[in-house]
Amino acid sequence: MAGIRLAPEDPELSSQQSRGAVVSDLISDDERSVAADSWSIKSEYGSTLDDDQRQTDAADALSAANFPPAPSSDYSSDKEEVETEEAAQSMLGLQSYWDSAYADELTNFREHGHAGEVWFGADVMELVASWTKGLCIDISHGQLPNHVDDTKSELVDQGDKYLSTWGVLDIGTGNGLLLQELAKQGFSHLTGTDYSEGAVQLARSLADRDGFANINFLCHSICKVDDVLETKLERQFQLVMDKGTLDAIGLHPDGPVKRMMYWDSVSRLVASGGILVITSCNSTKDELVQEVESFNQRRVGMSQEHEKDEEAGRDPPFRYLSHIRSYPTFMFGGSEGSRVATVAFVRS
């Protein structure tokens, strides 16, 4: 087999190039470290940081930095892939990301009639709506079911008369398609809120097109768009739905703090005896139950500190009610799980 003859290598030139590459890498690392240490991301929900200008400073620092170009490579390290994935996840927790996403989806709807993305898929959305209907009917009839999706309630067929009194709120409604599905199930008092004005405009446009003009969306012409973490809603609802909103909040750079704010806010939106239904792809059923238990302990502890009568603070705000058991499951590391979890909690 014929070989390929390479030109002789100049040792001195090669040494200089090698030293230059090392210096370039060192400069790149140092400059990136200085720039990274000089700013932090400002919360889109209201900063918990000391400096309200950090987001602006961050953009300025990144645009002004004169980083040497990284050497080209056909391969990426595992660390780089992880960092890229984490950055994408953090973006999903920012309002600016969703404003941009729904601006695009609103344009696609106006130009092509597209409804946009259905989080978790249409099958999951339909199952959540029908399962929630059965849950609400049984509760209206004085039952607290444990296996709602395993057996069909005898009351489901006559459910409309029970559902007509249920006030429903969908937080982080997005394109509002979950509310449309709930309307098909017989719910009639439906409200959707979102902190992205583009999402609310898209949801209203789709509802009008699809014949669901009775769904109420809080849009800019009526009041400011509503952020569940700092909600301006003064009424309570018998049913509060969350399909992916807690997931997005958890991806915020201040995710743990934002999740605590979420539970404080949602506990004020769910009426006594009402239900909170959460659908998540980032948390398992057990993790959601544990998170509620942690919130309950925190709230009970706070109540006992402020109440003279300790008996007044012993009632936990939420307790686990039921969860969907019919999602496909898989085994990993000796544990069984599913890619989606839907869990219902009842408000004390």
Instruction: Supply the CATH classification number for the domain 97-347.
Output: 3.40.50.150
Q: What are the φ and ψ backbone dihedral angles of 116, each rounded to 5 degrees? A: 95, -175
pTM: 0.70
d(CA 211, CA 292): 37
Q: For 223-257, how does the pLDDT look when each residue is reduced to its tens digit (9 = 90+)? A: 445 666 777 787 899 999 999 999 999 999 888 99
pLDDT over 60 at 327, yes or no: yes
Q: Token pair for residue 2?
A: 């014929």
Instruction: Decide: 241 and 171 in contact? Cβ < 8 Å.
Output: yes
Residue in this structure with the two tokens 């780089």, named with its chain if needed: 80
Q: What is the pLDDT of residue 223?
A: 45
Q: What is the pLDDT of residue 231?
A: 72
d(CA 192, CA 225): 10
79 vs 201, more confident: 201
Q: For 265-315, how does the pLDDT look when each residue is reduced to its tens digit (9 = 90+)? A: 999 999 999 999 999 999 999 999 999 999 999 988 776 666 654 444 568
> Per-domain residue ranges for the chain?
97-347
pLDDT over 70 at 198, yes or no: yes
HSE-CB at 322 with a 13 A cutoff on CA atoms is 20
Q: What is the pLDDT of residue 221?
A: 39
Look at strands 189-193 and 216-217 and give their pairing.
parallel
pLDDT over 80 at 49, yes or no: no
Q: For 108-134, how does the pLDDT look when each residue is reduced to its tens digit (9 = 90+)? A: 999 999 998 898 999 999 999 999 999
Q: What is the pLDDT of residue 328?
A: 82
